[in-house]
Amino acid sequence: MADKLHRPSREEVLDLLSELVRIDSVNPSLVPGAAGEGQIARFVARWLEEAGLEVRLEAVAPGRPNVVGRVPGSGGGPSLILNAHTDTVGAVGAKRPFEPIVEGDRLYGRGSYDMKAGLASVMLAARGVMRAGSSGDVIVTAVMDEEYASLGTQAVVDSITADAAIVTEPTGLRICAAHKGFAWLSVETHGRAAHGSKPELGVDAISHMGRVLGQVEELGRELSGREPHRLLGAGSIHASLIQGGTELSSYPDRCVCQIERRTVPGETAASVEAEMRVRLDSLRERDPTFAAKLDLYLWRGPFEVDPKETIVSVLRDAAVELIGHPAVVYGDTPWMDAALLQSAGIPTVVFGPGGAGAHAAVEYASIREVALCAEILTRTAMNFCAG
């Protein structure tokens, strides 16, 4: 059966990807007043319905639904989620961001690469599976809000489960089997306000923050010396934002620093918080006037899939067969929705077409790789869902 699969033609890819790029779906949480995912969700839903899938729109935020489409299996096989986000970042700096321009193998436009190319691959693959038939269900989740708070995929894992998932963020047809996580922390140092001429009364919260920053640097060096993760290397930490003081002639009573920590598998919110707390405690032991409050206020876990998972080997086999050489397995640096799916107990890999320019003024996707990716996803879905 697999031999009868058909690779989407250049025209089919161009038609679909151009339509997707033409629909402004800038995330309104990133750019206030932006279009959001309503129109693109309706387009994706209609397209999938015409391809024969069972489709529903699921409201996540006002006017910003997820699309959930199901290729119903004939029964008995494992189920697979194909996940792509419908939102994009803003289009500042691009001349005509929603006008697709084709040059050779490249289709230019906002969101073409991140990740309407991956979304098109998923849609074409679902249509391929629909035509060929499958034992297990293939579930398309076209999700909103990945570029901000991942509300879309969060809603998916709250209501749907499956035996595996593929997130089609652009990987250039490589298999991404791990990515870093991140934590945002804030440290607030407390001093004592006093007239600048009375040093015996004042405690300088800004210079106390200087000691914290010294610890951040030292921790960064310690992290880079730790045993590196096989695909991701070491975790890291840096200061991002700092604020303190009210005027020149006063001792500042307060200074706040926001710190970002990039994490690798094995590191947890608790371990990340603890390694910072130990350092603040040691500053306090050395100087009783030192006082600081630590808060880990956002945690996005790192992602890693066991290379022995069935979905990894089935995808690897389909890729080598259709690309003609083994797909590179690698770890990526940015956080993705894969972490949410994986931590919900769904073995997940990231695999999508190539191009360049994510979040940049000039962005393009490879038309050929969208077609190839769709075919690889179709074959992977059919083999995986056959059980």
How many residues can be counted in the chain? Answer: 387
- Kindly write out the interface string for residues 73-112 of this chain, putting x where it contacts Zn ion by CB under 5 A and - elsewhere: ----------------------------------------
Helix (H, G, I), strand (E, B) or coil at 40: helix
- The label of the residue with tokens 């790789």 reads 369
Least separation in angstroms between residue 348's CB and Zn ion is 15
Binding footprint of Zn ion, residue count (CB under 5 A): 3
Least separation in angstroms between residue 267's CB and Zn ion is 23
Least separation in angstroms between residue 311's CB and Zn ion is 20
Least separation in angstroms between residue 239's CB and Zn ion is 26
Cβ proximity to Zn ion, 48 vs 336, nearer residue? 336
CA distances from 172 to 6, 25, 160, 168, 359 (A): 21, 23, 28, 10, 16
Map the footprint of Zn ion across residues 106-145, applying CB under 5 A.
114-115
From the number of C-beta atoms within 10 Å of its C-beta (0-12, 13-18, 19+), residue 345 rates as exposed
Least separation in angstroms between residue 334's CB and Zn ion is 8
Least separation in angstroms between residue 114's CB and Zn ion is 4
**Among the residue ranges 31-39, 169-177, 235-243, 295-303, the one whose residues contact Zn ion (CB under 5 A):** 169-177
**Among the residue ranges 10-18, 44-52, 161-169, 263-271, the one whose residues contact Zn ion (CB under 5 A):** 161-169
Cβ proximity to Zn ion, 182 vs 384, nearer residue? 182
**Among the residue ranges 2-10, 166-174, 254-262, 359-367, the one whose residues contact Zn ion (CB under 5 A):** 166-174
Cβ proximity to Zn ion, 112 vs 383, nearer residue? 112
Residues 43, 303: Cα–Cα separation, whole Å = 31
Cβ proximity to Zn ion, 115 vs 209, nearer residue? 115
* 67 close to 140: Cβ distance less than 8 angstroms: yes
Cβ proximity to Zn ion, 117 vs 272, nearer residue? 117
Task: Tell me the sheet residues that pair with 141.
Answer: 68, 83
* Tokens describing residue 199: 């040093």
**Among the residue ranges 163-171, 204-212, 294-302, 374-382, the one whose residues contact Zn ion (CB under 5 A):** 163-171
Cβ proximity to Zn ion, 40 vs 115, nearer residue? 115
164 φ, ψ (degrees, to nearest 5)? -170, 170
Cβ proximity to Zn ion, 40 vs 276, nearer residue? 40
Helix (H, G, I), strand (E, B) or coil at 262: strand
Strand order of the β-sheet with 181-190 is 236-244, 254-263, 181-190, 292-300
* 150 close to 355: Cβ distance less than 8 angstroms: no
Helix (H, G, I), strand (E, B) or coil at 23: coil
**Among the residue ranges 1-9, 165-173, 220-228, 276-284, the one whose residues contact Zn ion (CB under 5 A):** 165-173
Least separation in angstroms between residue 176's CB and Zn ion is 12
Other CB atoms within a 10 A radius of the CB of residue 277 amount to 13
HSE, side-chain direction, 13 A CA sphere, residue 168: 40
Say whether residue 337 binds Zn ion (CB under 5 A): no
**Among the residue ranges 20-28, 98-106, 168-176, 200-208, the one whose residues contact Zn ion (CB under 5 A):** 168-176
302-332 b/e (C-beta count within 10 Å ≥ 16 → b): bbbbeeebebbebbbbbbeebeeeebeebbb
* Tokens describing residue 82: 């194909």
Least separation in angstroms between residue 113's CB and Zn ion is 9
Cβ proximity to Zn ion, 115 vs 385, nearer residue? 115
Cβ proximity to Zn ion, 147 vs 204, nearer residue? 147
* 26 close to 91: Cβ distance less than 8 angstroms: yes
Cβ proximity to Zn ion, 114 vs 332, nearer residue? 114
> Following CA atoms 136, 351, 174, 178 in sequence, which dihedral angle do they give, to the nearest 10 degrees?
-100
* 220 close to 237: Cβ distance less than 8 angstroms: yes
Residues at the contact surface with Zn ion, assessed by CB under 5 A: 114-115, 169
